[in-house]
Chain A
Amino acid sequence: MTHPVLTRGRDLARRFGESFRRRGSRLFQARPPSWWRRQALLSGAGAAVLVLALVVLATLGGGERRVRLESYHGGDAPDGDLARRAKAARAALERQKPRGVYVVVDTYDGRLRVFRGDQRLREAVCSAGSGGALVDPRSGRLWVFRTPLGERRVQRKAVDPVWVKPDWAFIEEGYAPPPLGHRDRVDTFSLGGYGLYLGDGYIIHGTIFQTLLGRRVTHGCVRLGDDDLRYVYDKVPVGARVYLY
């Protein structure tokens, strides 16, 4: 049992649809199909030209203008206040600067420099992180081999450091890594004669690939030649600051 209003509505809709189809059909039949195709192509091309013109106008209409630069005016601070603030800031900066021997590593040019104050004690060729990446095909885990930037400290030093190979060292060679604690993870020769540990697994160490010194080829550690490494080991104490940039 349908409500009479609904029945009437459906009837009206059906009649309207039939009428629309008849008229549309007559309109289509009045022109050959090729005419309609041409009209469609012309309309499409016109719309495309219009959009393109708008975009070109917008592109050419855009521009640049110099930003007005204003100096910080310091509000209504009296001169005495400015002097006090400057003194406090300078003192704070001075407190942050390193005392004693420190190391600066230029990871881009591959240079390690040892300083005491403003005096440069030694400059050595080194290698730093390649910036490359490695993907574990089993898990999708990603390693990015960058040398950390900023300030670190020498946390400890070691003679004949031992490298416990992480997973990436095997995956990079195309091997599934052996279980943790496996004896093949222990490498007693790759790090050279000395190691200065900077935390998070980053070390200043030696290398068996002397010919690559000066190039960005490491997995994040800093490699040095034998003589320079011995000097750095002797001269740089535990706790010394290392600046990497």
Chain B
Amino acid sequence: MSTSISGWILSAGLAAAQAAAPAVPPAPEVRFLELEAEAAKGAELYLVVSLEPPMVWIKSRGLELDRVPVTQVEVVEHRSSIGPSRETTALELPAQWRVEARPPDPTRRVLAPPVLRQWTGTEEAAPVTTAAPAPSVPEPPDRYTVALTGGWVLDLGPGGEGPSLAGRWAQAVADGWSVLRGRPPARRQTVRLELAPEDARRLHHLFRRGTRVLLVGSAF
């Protein structure tokens, strides 16, 4: 009897110890934590895109600064009808890229005075005023693409209709040109973020050369 009671106490103790032990995190979560810890070593911003919930997290040093909701996140590969066909490679999550080039900003204002007048010092006496002219602030575009490392592209904007016919036409010409030069068409894999126009504009200035972008299955 005493043996069975001690056995019961032992098994109960083991069960309690198991319950108290922290659950082992799944491997993707560990990998993401490691990637983020690496990104957080620098003073730069980094962006985390999660599929579930669909969201872009703006972070620095592990601190969440802001988050932008995304309607849908799609990862697609563009198939060329010219040149040798290729097997689609799988993307292992979490993935990490860096921004290769800033997205174009056609609305950026560039001031270029044609000639400069000689400074006479008369401006110094000008009265100080708080009634400044209100310059119109140009809005960044709400649809744009960001070139990432490894041939990946981040496509941001409202609607998920994919590339336009004109875009596909231009791509077909580029593919044909590549094939004529004896090269396979460039691999173009896209992470497409469908989001509200205002949210796309809000993110535009954050994509600077070298900015890290992490893609995770779920926000851990």
Contact = CB atoms under 8 A, between A and B. Distances in A.
Contact of A67 (B75, B135, B206): B75
Contacts of A77: 27
A66 B205 contact: no
Given A133-B108, A177-B119, A184-B119, A62 B79 contact: yes
A151 B168 CA distance: 40
How extensive is the interface on chain B, given as a class?
35 or more
B143 interface: no
Interface in A168-213: 170-178, 184, 189, 208-212
A76 B202 CA distance: 42
Interface string A36-79: 00000000000000000011111111111111111111100101
Contacts of A177: 119
Contacts of A239: none
B9 interface: no
Contact of A62 (B22, B42, B171): B171
A211 B134 CA distance: 8
Contacts of A216: 137
Interface residues of A, number: 76
A108 B119 contact: no
Contact of B65 (A61, A146, A175, A245): A245
A174 B113 contact: yes
Contact of A146 (B42, B118, B169, B205): B205
A243 B63 contact: yes
Interface in B118-167: 118-119, 121, 123-124, 128-132, 134-135, 137-138, 140, 162, 165
A133 to B, nearest CB: 4
B81 A57 contact: yes
Nearest to A94: B62
Contacts of A170: 116, 119
Contacts of A68: 88-91
B117 A79 contact: no
Interface stretch (A2-10, A20-28, A83-91, A230-238): A83-91
Interface in A109-143: 109, 130-135, 137-138
A164 interface: no
A8 B102 CA distance: 67
Contacts of A160: none
30 contacts: A54-B176, A58-B82, A59-B168, A62-B79, A67-B189, A68-B89, A69-B217, A71-B26, A77-B27, A86-B30, A86-B33, A89-B30, A92-B37, A92-B41, A93-B33, A93-B62, A97-B62, A107-B205, A108-B201, A132-B108, A133-B111, A137-B113, A137-B114, A174-B117, A178-B119, A184-B119, A215-B137, A243-B63, A243-B65, A245-B45
Interface of A: 54-74, 77, 79-80, 82-83, 85-86, 89-90, 92-94, 96-98, 104, 106-109, 130-135, 137-138, 146, 149-152, 170-178, 184, 189, 208-212, 215-217, 241, 243, 245
User: Which 10 A-B pairs rank lowest in CB-CB distance, beginning with the nearest?
Assistant: A61-B81, A74-B27, A89-B33, A58-B172, A209-B132, A93-B62, A135-B112, A92-B37, A151-B43, A96-B61
Interface of B: 22, 24-31, 33-34, 36-37, 40-45, 51, 58, 60-63, 65-66, 74-82, 88-94, 105, 108-119, 121, 123-124, 128-132, 134-135, 137-138, 140, 162, 165, 168-169, 171-173, 175-176, 189, 201-202, 205-206, 208, 217
Given A130-B135, A170-B119, 10 more contacts: A55-B176, A70-B91, A82-B24, A86-B33, A92-B41, A94-B62, A130-B109, A134-B112, A170-B116, A184-B121
